[in-house]
Structure 1
Amino acid sequence: EVRIRPDRGAGDPVDVTLWGKWTETAAHAETGMELLVTDAEEDEFGGETGYATTGDSWVVLEPDFLVDVTGIRSWVQCPRMYYLNKLSGIPLNYPVVKGTIVHEVFGDLLRGMDLEGSVVDRVEEAGLELGLLGYDPTEVEDEVRRNAAAIEGWLAQGTLDDEDTWRSEFTLISPTFGLKGRADALRRGTPVELKTGKNTKREPRFQDKVQAACYALMLNERGVDPDIGTLLYTKNTAVERTEETGDLAPAKEFTVGRGFLEFVVRERNALAAMEWRALNDPGERPTVPTGYEADANCSYCFEQDACMVVSGRLDQESKAGQIGTPVPDEERDYFDRFYTAIEEERRETHAEYRKLWEQSPEERAADDRALIDLEPIGRTEIDDARWELRARKTGDAVSKLREGDVALASDG
């Protein structure tokens, strides 16, 4: 049981009973956290009214904290990896650059563009990065084509209907589950994730299934009920079949069941609880994951060396161990101070996200963040299967929108 104050702390305290595996979330809950329970049933015991979870309930800790889907993917591999990914930027290496190119080509193909033209254009766009890495564009184009063969083969299995043709790089935000992310594609209402590596097993990798399940969870909130997820491992079509054994089919599907979705929510809750403790736990230093929270095997982890160095230099506890001597106390204090400041800024960013569903259109317009009551006057298809939309303002409203900004167009 957990004791809460409903209505964001304004109501009288009541007890909520969390049944089944939701007890894992109860173990993470601490005084001061927000707890969301959906579809709870009211019960009465000893003259006091309480609530309990049902088979349809979802339990969400700190729903205002928006966890990125890729963060949950890292977290289920190892919470320590999630922490390390926050500290490091995106590296300039060939797998990352090639992966970006293949993802761009994927989106182009979903929009009906020609493969050859897309490959040439996308490799040219990445010319600076490829030049810095010393790669020849022609060789890169050939490798991207081989990866794209998996995409073409998948598309050839069936046509996308009118509802799905444009649904690539589809942004999803969940007010209920405190999630945000961008699905590579939605096909007939089911999430599709593109991976530029290979996987010769019949099942998708576990962390990849978790990522796709996060998108399925957010789609479920929108009234879509995907029962499968698809992972496309594009390198499966680029390897020599005489050199590899196993299942080389690039498309691998898995069932998205209620139990798996509940697991994803519980892991998201554990992550959100850790982030809450980082700013709210008493102590001289922010709370960070140690790696003991997961059943990870450090000896097989490609981040083991980096993890041990960070642990050693910052004098942090780590399942992987430590390498090196700690930096001076004043430097660790400097690091902790800026780490905390960045996390506090992240909370402010989440508050801006929440305005999307907490503010009315009129409030957004008054904040100079939106133009409302526009009168559509036409649309024109332009290059690269994109559209130019035109509308007329009916009033004298002004906005901070400028050319080059990313804006959300909505029918209300």
Structure 2
Amino acid sequence: MKLLSISSLASWIHCPRQFFVQSVLQIKEPINSAMALGLVKHKFHEFLGKNEERIVSSLSASDSARQVLESEYRSLLLQSVRMYVGMLRSVNVLPDDAMKSALPLVVAEADSRASLIAPLLKENMTGDALWQALEPKVKNEYSVESKSLGIKGRIDKLECYNDRLVPIELKSGKTPEQGVFEHHRIQAVSYALMLEDTFQSSVPQAIVHYVDSNARRDVVVDIAARNWVVSTVSAVRSCLESKQVPIGCGKEYCSACKTCDDSRRVTLLLQRGKV
């Protein structure tokens, strides 16, 4: 059985017709500025995961952890922007504007890690001893899957404590006034469930981190959440097999709903072998 991507579940929860358009009709959403900036921020976290041990282990007791981390993180962000400079320009975003957009993320990350590292430096911990004492360790872009659930994905950020794991889903753009958006919640819950299946241990909490506002929102992972994921996986598979247009979100601005309302176009796309 082919494993479903977590993004397909999120697409279904956001609007079943959005999933249908993207995954059945295979009409891909064109890249926009928000998507391009989101890729830059994700790449920054990927670079951070690969370089954090080096950065932390290089600190000396006389260093200002906050200043060193921000300087190093800015350099990683610059590398991230350079990787996507062509895409950014294609959506009319200048590299300098991309840097400015992501700087709050860099500052927040530097503040967060420095608050943990500075007390250890005061105890004259440096090098490998400092790295080993630092908790939580963070793994970025951590691949995980569950054959029993039939899903797979990559966790944006995995906080590893001595006694627990906490998956974190990073999101750019609008922050809800309370809680998390449902299509973000299913991603966070799914990652926690896959970790439970992989490590055979409870992962009762996940987090959605809205990076532009630096808001970390807790997501409860319980039996109701597991049942929700299972039923969503079933609905997605049923749609892929039947190729029947599902009921949409019904929102006036939803382009996917409008596309599916054109039954003649949908039929033509299906008949032309584009699925």
TM-score scaled to structure 1, two decimals?
Answer: 0.52
Cα 1:135–1:79 change in 2 (3 A) is: closer
Paired residues of 1:185 and 1:193 also in contact (CA < 8 A): yes
Unpaired runs of 5+ residues, structure 2, are: 56-71, 118-130
| 1:216 corresponds to | 192
1:151, 1:232 within 8 Å by CA — same for their partners in 2? no
Counterpart code for 1:192 = I
Q: More relative contact order in 1 or in 2 (CA 8 Å, sep 6+)? A: 2
- The separation in 2 between residues aligned to 1:262 and 1:79, in whole angstroms, is 18
- Residue aligning to 1:409: none
SS at match of 2:180: coil
**Quick check: 1:314 aligned with 2:266?**
yes
Any unmatched runs of 5+ in structure 1? Answer: 1-63, 238-249, 279-286, 316-326, 340-412
Hey, what's the Cα distance between the residues in 2 that align with 1:196 and 1:140? 13
Q: Which one of 293, 301, 324 corresponds to residue 254 of structure 2?
A: 301
The equivalent residue for 2:91 is 133
Note the C-alpha offset of 1:302. Answer: 5.3
Structure 1 residues 271 and 96, CA gap change in structure 2 (3 angstroms): same
Aligned 1:251-330 pairs, distance under 5 A: 251-276=216-241, 278=242, 287-291=243-247, 296-299=249-252, 301=254, 303-309=256-262, 311-315=263-267
Matches within 5 A, 1:67-82: 67-82=4-19
2:173 partner SS: coil
| Matched residue type, 1:142 | K
The structural deviation recorded for 1:195 is 0.3
* 1:5-404 alignment runs, 5 A limit: 64-86=1-23, 87-89=26-28, 91-110=30-49, 111-112=51-52, 114-155=72-113, 158=116, 165=137, 167-188=139-160, 189-222=165-198, 223-237=200-214, 250-276=215-241, 278=242, 287-291=243-247, 296-299=249-252, 301=254, 303-309=256-262, 311-315=263-267, 333-334=271-272, 337-339=273-275
TM-score, structure 2 normalization: 0.75
Q: Evaluate the alpha carbon distance shift between residue 125 and residue 313 of structure 1 in structure 2; reply closer, same or farther with a 3 A threshold.
A: same
Q: Report what 1:8 is aligned to.
A: none
Change over 3 Å in CA distance of 1:176–1:119 after alignment to 2: same
Q: CA RMSD in A?
A: 2.6
**d(CA) in 1 for partners of 2:274, 2:9:** 23
- Percent identity among equivalent residues? 20
C-alpha contact (below 8 Å) 1:214/1:264 kept by paired residues: yes
Note if contact 2:188-2:219 (Cα within 8 Å) is conserved in structure 1.
Answer: no
Q: Say which one has the larger Rg.
A: 1
